[in-house]
Structure formats: structure tokens, C-alpha cells
């Protein structure tokens, strides 16, 4: 071999797997062949007529082989707060969680409101060579809610959509202008749905518990009010609109009605909103401080039902890493958010183990639908598709241990929770980026 000549990667055959592909509707035994980073062949008969002579054969032992998870809402903290997380550490955590693509919010420092910011994320992702990393652009300059960014230019350079991150675009006039422009170029607008004046100063769900704890509350109505306003703007402009981390029954009802009217609306939620309630705050437990806040039992049940019936299109991790100094403070002063990359799959699997959702529908919420909304080619098992894959054992018992997280930050209210579901291998473009027990 001539010095410097690079051998092409050998074909890899995954045999004896349970293939699950929401796009085709297939959920059954089979195998999958990867060549040059793409899915070359798959199905129940793979291998019966032979495989490439140099193929590496991997016995999946009947475990689930599915499209890699597409996480449409994460905060990477780079640039600006690398002591909390970096693209490299988040990518490692995502791979361990079975996530092969993730999209970061633009609320970094500096804000991603110019082409240079989009290019920075793309360059760092290439250098990291792990999970695929994309970004959203801000809707307004500096997230200040006043002046719209150059949406078309940022989209041309790779921004998958536009949002002011953890802040709502409060001005109906500004959002209408952004939606009108986005509609012209068929771009996606995402909203953090919280009426800012009504939520101002609040630190947890408004209600009896907040009163008893002496903490200022955020009314449930602050969420649905913003959504209903925005839906009027969607009807006016025809824009593609996505509601992030839905947390109340009223919000679900509004979105369900808008979908029935034919509006271009989609939404996501995160595992805490269908697993936990505001009771988790307990005695001022800051790891349970989220935005939007954890709600009551009726809202939790409504979110779980909306995931099951498909009103909620996608489940995202809503990964929001914070260091000890940001959380080990009085509740009112603690930062909002929890980490989620490494718990997204096992926590979401609780819906399957509870009998609320078939496995194939869960994979649709975690992979196929977010890829569709973001217009990515991932999220499906098909010939020619990127070999972004997840192999996992859905029955393996485990306990969440935050000290073992790859993420730099450990802020999670799920520490010590028993779960079922274990990632065995994660591949991006055919490359193994995580392997259990390796």
C-alpha cells in the first residue's frame, strides 16, 4: 500500500436485529447492510443470498435497530459558557444517549444571529466528528425582540429554523413580519410559548403549591395565550410554525384544533412534562426548576395522551446544562433547565413499557417526525439513507446515575430513577460513535 493511501471502510452487516422503521411501518426481524456511510440494503432476507466477502458481521441478538434519534432542541453552551458544556462533551453525551443529530438554540454568547455564528457551529461540529450538530438562527437581533435577522441568508448557510431560544418573541408585529418573510421562503419559525408580562418574575407553576412555598408562580394561561395569538398570525401569514416544549392541556387543545383547521403547526415536548409534576419541586429542589415549569397531574396526563395520539409530533431532550453554582442557590435565583441527552431514550421508553405507545410510534416521535419537521434526510431506514443508527435493548434494567453522565453538567431531577432501556451502539454515517462496554 502506498504511504498515505486511505483504505475505504469495510461494509458492516447488522444481523439478527429487530428492525423498526416508522416511515415504512416495518417492525420485525431482519438485518441491515452499511456501505460507505449509507444504508445499502436491509430487510428480513438480508444475508440469505450472501454478503460482501469483506463485510464485518455484527449479531444484534434480537435487539432494536432503529434510525438514530434526532433531538430538535438542545443548548450546547458553546460559544460563551464552555464551563457548562461544549460541543464536544454534548456530542459525547448525545452519542451515549442514542442521538445522532441535534439542533442547538441560538442563545449562545455571541447569539447566532449572523452567518458567522452558523459557520462556527458547523466548523466545530466537523472538528468534533461525533454526533451531527445543526443550529437555529435567532428571529431577532441579539434576541431583543425588535429587529428581524436576515432569515434567508442564515437559512442559505445552514440554519434549520428560527427562534429566540428560551425567550418568546413578545411583539405580535415583529413576529408577524418574521412569519411573513419566513412564509415566502418556506422557513420554519419556532416559539418558546410564554406570555412574558404574565410570566414575569415567576419561578414555578402558578397555583396552590407555589403559594404554600411562597414562590412567585407562572400561570398556565401564559402558555396557551401565546400559542393562540401566534396561531392567528399563522393563519394570516401561512408560515410553518413549531411550538416548543408544550406543557399544558389547554395548549394541546389549541394545537389540536389548529391542526384540524389545516394550519402548518407542529409541536414537541420533553420527558419531564409527561413524567413529573410540580410536586417534584418539593422542598425547593432547584433541579426541578424548568422553563416552562412542571405542571399539575392533569396537565402531565394530557401531555402523555397527546404524545400517544400524535398531537405532539416530537419528543426533544430540551437539554439545558448548568453547573453547580447555577443550581446550588435559593430556588428563586437558580437557573431554569435540566440536562437530558443521556436520559431521553430510557425516560421516553416509559410510555412504551406503560402500554401507552407502540415502540414504532415512539421511534417516530424521537427520530422520524423531528427529521421531517427539520427537513433532514435522517430518521428512516431506507436504501441510500445516511447510516445514522441506534441499537438498543429496550428491556435492560438500569438506574440513572448523574455522576456517570458524559455531559459536563449533572443537573437532573432523575438521579437514582430506575429505568428500562439501554443503548448498545450508536452510528453516524456508518461510524460507531458510541459502543457500550467498549
Identify the pLDDT of residue 50. Answer: 84
Q: State how far the alpha carbon of 384 is from the alpha carbons of 34, 36, 83, 159, 387, in Å.
A: 10, 10, 39, 24, 8
Determine the Cα–Cα distance for residues 209 and 396; give it in Å rounded to an integer: 36
Residues annotated as catalytic (active site), given as ranges = 318
Q: State how far the alpha carbon of 67 is from the alpha carbons of 346, 370, 401, in Å.
A: 16, 12, 26
Identify the pLDDT of residue 2. Answer: 43
Binding annotation for Zn(2+): 192, 245, 318
| The pLDDT of residue 437 is above 90 | no
Buried b / exposed e along 413-432 (16+ C-beta atoms within 10 A): bbeebebebbbbbbbbbbee
| Cis amide prior to 220 (ω within 30 degrees) | no
Answer for the pair 160, 210: CB distance below 8 angstroms, yes or no. no
| The pLDDT of residue 43 is above 60 | yes
Per-residue pLDDT band at 438 (split at 50, 70, 90): low
Least confident of 21-30, 39-48, 111-120, 175-184: 39-48
Strands 418-428 and 389-399: antiparallel
Mean pLDDT for all residues in the chain: 96
Binding annotation: 107, 192, 245, 318, 322, 336-337
Q: State how far the alpha carbon of 122 is from the alpha carbons of 85, 109, 117, in Å.
A: 17, 16, 9
Q: What stretch of H or E contains 334?
A: none
Identify the pLDDT of residue 1. Answer: 40
What does the DSSP 8-state code read for residue 138? P
Identify the pLDDT of residue 206. Answer: 97
| The pLDDT of residue 3 is above 50 | no
Per-residue pLDDT band at 189 (split at 50, 70, 90): very high
pTM, two decimal places: 0.96
Identify the pLDDT of residue 320. Answer: 97
Domains of the chain by range and CATH?
Answer: 12-65+387-435 (2.30.40.10), 68-378 (3.20.20.140)
Binding annotation for substrate: 107, 322, 336-337
Residue 345, Cβ density class (10 Å: 0-12 exposed, 13-18 middle, ≥19 buried): buried
Q: Which one is predicted more confidently, 438 or 106?
A: 106
Model pLDDT for residues 360-406, shown as the tens digit of each residue: 999 999 999 999 999 999 999 999 999 999 999 999 999 999 999 99
Residue 258: CA count within 13 A, CB half-sphere: 30
What is the arithmetic mean of pLDDT over 70-93? 97
Per-residue pLDDT band at 48 (split at 50, 70, 90): confident
What is the arithmetic mean of pLDDT over 133-155? 98
H helices, E strands: number in the chain: 14, 17
Per-residue pLDDT band at 93 (split at 50, 70, 90): very high
Model pLDDT for residues 243-256, shown as the tens digit of each residue: 999 999 999 999 99
Identify the pLDDT of residue 5. Answer: 55
Model pLDDT for residues 268-278, shown as the tens digit of each residue: 999 999 999 99
Buried b / exposed e along 282-320 (16+ C-beta atoms within 10 A): eebebbbbbbbbbbbeebbebbbebbbeebbbbbbbbbb
Instruction: Give percent of the chain above pLDDT 90.
Output: 96
Answer for the pair 243, 175: CB distance below 8 angstroms, yes or no. no
Identify the pLDDT of residue 4. Answer: 47
Amino acid at each position: 500500500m502506498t504511504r498515505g493511501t486511505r483504505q475505504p471502510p469495510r461494509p458492516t452487516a447488522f444481523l439478527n436485529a429487530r428492525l423498526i422503521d416508522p416511515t415504512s411501518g416495518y417492525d420485525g426481524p431482519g438485518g441491515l447492510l452499511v456501505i460507505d456511510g449509507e444504508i445499502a440494503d436491509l430487510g428480513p432476507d438480508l444475508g440469505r443470498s450472501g454478503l460482501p466477502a469483506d463485510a464485518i458481521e455484527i449479531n444484534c441478538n434480537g435487539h432494536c435497530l432503529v434510525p438514530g434519534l434526532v433531538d430538535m432542541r438542545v443548548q450546547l453552551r458553546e460559544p460563551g459558557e464552555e464551563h457548562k458544556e461544549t460541543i464536544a462533551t454534548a456530542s459525547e453525551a448525545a452519542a451515549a444517549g442514542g442521538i445522532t443529530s441535534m439542533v442547538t438554540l441560538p442563545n449562545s454568547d455571541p447569539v447566532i444571529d449572523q452567518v458567522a455564528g452558523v459557520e462556527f457551529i458547523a466548523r466545530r461540529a466537523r472538528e468534533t466528528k461525533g454526533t451531527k450538530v445543526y443550529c437555529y438562527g435567532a428571529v431577532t437581533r441579539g434576541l431583543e425582540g425588535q429587529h428581524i435577522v436576515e432569515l434567508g441568508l442564515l437559512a442559505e448557510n445552514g440554519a434549520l429554523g428560527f427562534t429566540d431560544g428560551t425567550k418568546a418573541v413578545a411583539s405580535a408585529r415583529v413576529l408577524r413580519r418574521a412569519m411573513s418573510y419566513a412564509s415566502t421562503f418556506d422557513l420554519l419559525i419556532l416559539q418558546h410559548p410564554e406570555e412574558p408580562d404574565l410570566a414575569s418574575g415567576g419561578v414555578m407553576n402558578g397555583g396552590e403549591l407555589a403559594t404554600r412555598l411562597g414562590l412567585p408562580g407562572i400561570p398556565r394561561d401564559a402558555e396557551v395565550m401565546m400559542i393562540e395569538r401566534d396561531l392567528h398570525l399563522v393563519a394570516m401569514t401561512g408560515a410553518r410554525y413549531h411550538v416548543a416544549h408544550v406543557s399544558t392541556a389547554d395548549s394541546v387543545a389549541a394545537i389540536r384544533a389548529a391542526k384540524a383547521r389545516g394550519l402548518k403547526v407542529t409541536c414537541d415536548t420533553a420527558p419531564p412534562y409527561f413524567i413529573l409534576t410540580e410536586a417534584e419541586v418539593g422542598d425547593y429542589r432547584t433541579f426541578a426548576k424548568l422553563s416552562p415549569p412542571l405542571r399539575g397531574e392533569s396537565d402531565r396526563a394530557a401531555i402523555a395522551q397527546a404524545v400517544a395520539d400524535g398531537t405532539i409530533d416530537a419528543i426533544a431532550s430540551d437539554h439545558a446544562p448548568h453547573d453547580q453554582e447555577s443550581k446550588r442557590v435559593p430556588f428563586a435565583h437558580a437557573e431554569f433547565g435540566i440536562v437530558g441527552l443521556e436520559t431521553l431514550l430510557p425516560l421516553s421508553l416509559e410510555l412504551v413499557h406503560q402500554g401507552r405507545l407502540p415502540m414504532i410510534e415512539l421511534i417516530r416521535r424521537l427520530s422520524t417526525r423531528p427529521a421531517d419537521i427539520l427537513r433532514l434526510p435522517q430518521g428512516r431506514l431506507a436504501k441510500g439513507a445516511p447510516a445514522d443508527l441506534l441499537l438498543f435493548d429496550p428491556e435492560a434494567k438500569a438506574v440513572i446515575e448523574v455522576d456517570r453522565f458524559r455531559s459536563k453538567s449533572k443537573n437532573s431531577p432523575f438521579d437514582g430513577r430506575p429505568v428500562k432501556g439501554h443503548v448498545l451502539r450508536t452510528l453516524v454515517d456508518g461510524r460507531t460513535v458510541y459502543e457500550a462496554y467498549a
